[in-house]
Amino acid sequence: MISASQGIIQQEIEAGTGAAIGMAVDGSGMRTALRLWFEDLEERYGPVVELKPFGLRGYRVRLAFGRFAGEVVRKIQSAADEDVRLARALVASIGSQVELDLGGQTRDDWQVASGAFTITATVRGMPAEPEAAMPMVCRDVIVPLMGAMAELIGYDVIEQDAEDEHEMEGSVLLAAVKRRERNPRNRLLCIRLHGERCACCGLEPRSIYGDAGGIIEVHHVEPLSLLGAPRPYDPATDLLPLCPNCHRAVHTRRPVPLAPDELRTLLNSQAAAEAAG
C-alpha cells in the first residue's frame, strides 16, 4: 500500500527538491491516496500532489493548488525567466512513457496562469511491490513536478552564516539564493540531461562504487557570479556533470575556471607523457 511507503516517498522527494515535505493519507476515495505538499507553505496555500494507484500496476500523480494559493500563484507568475526555464526543463525531463496532461499546454511552454492550473501524470507498468515502485514514481514523476514548482516559488537551499540564522524564520517565499550550484534541482536536471559520467575524464562513479557512487557533481560552465549581464540560462548547455576530482581541478584557476575542453587537453597531455616515459 502507498501509506506503508511514506518514509521512502518523503526521503526521495526531499532529497530531490531540497524542500521539507508534508504528507497525509487520504482514504476518502475508492483507493487510498497520498497527499504531498511543501511543509513550509502548508497544504491549503501551496501546490499539492496527490498520488494514488491507477489500474493494476500503474499510478496517477496530480498536481494542483490549494484554495488559498493566491499569494503562491502570484509569486510563481513573477518568477525570473531563468527559473521558468529550469522549471520547464524539469517537467520536460519526465520520460515520454509517462502520460502527461498539462491542461492543453505543452511540456516546453506551459505556465501557471491561475490557481486552476493542474498537471496530471499517469505511469503504467510499475513493479507490483510498492516498495519497488514508489522510488521509481518519485524519481521519475513527483520529484520533477515538485522541483519545478519549488523553482518557480523560489525555494532554494541556502548557505546561511551563523550570525544570520535569525533571518531564516518566516515564509519560504522570502528566501534568497546565495549559491545556485547548491540547488539540488540543478543536480537532478543535470543528471537527467547528461547522465552520471564525468564530462572531462569519462569516469562514472556509480559503475565503480555502486550505491555509494552517487558523487557526481554539477558544474556551471560559466559561473553565474561572473556574468556581466543577465543572459538566457540553458540547463542543457550551462550545466555539466563532473567527478569530484575534475570539478576540483577546473576550479584551481580563479576567478575563471578552466573550461572542460582545457582540462581534457591537460588530461590527454599527461596521459601521453606517461605513455612516452
Q: Are strands 21-26 and 47-54 parallel, antiparallel or unpaired?
A: unpaired
What is the average pLDDT score of the chain? 85
**Confidence class for position 166, pLDDT limits 50, 70, 90:** very low
Report CA Rg, the chain. Answer: 20
List the domain boundaries for the chain. Answer: 2-153, 195-276
Which tens digit of pLDDT belongs to each residue from 200-255?
999 999 899 987 888 899 998 877 666 666 666 677 888 899 999 999 999 999 88
Q: Is pLDDT of 164 > 60?
A: no
pLDDT reported for residue 202: 95
pLDDT in tens, 95-140: 999 999 999 999 999 999 999 999 999 999 999 888 889 999 999 9
Residues 143 and 17: beta-carbon distance below 8 Å: yes
- How many whole angstroms separate alpha carbon 122 and alpha carbon 118? 13
**In this structure, which amino acid lies at residue 4?**
A
How sure is the predictor about 179, in pLDDT bands with cuts at 50, 70 and 90?
A: very low
Closest listed residue to residue 148, CA positions, set 193, 186, 114, 174: 186
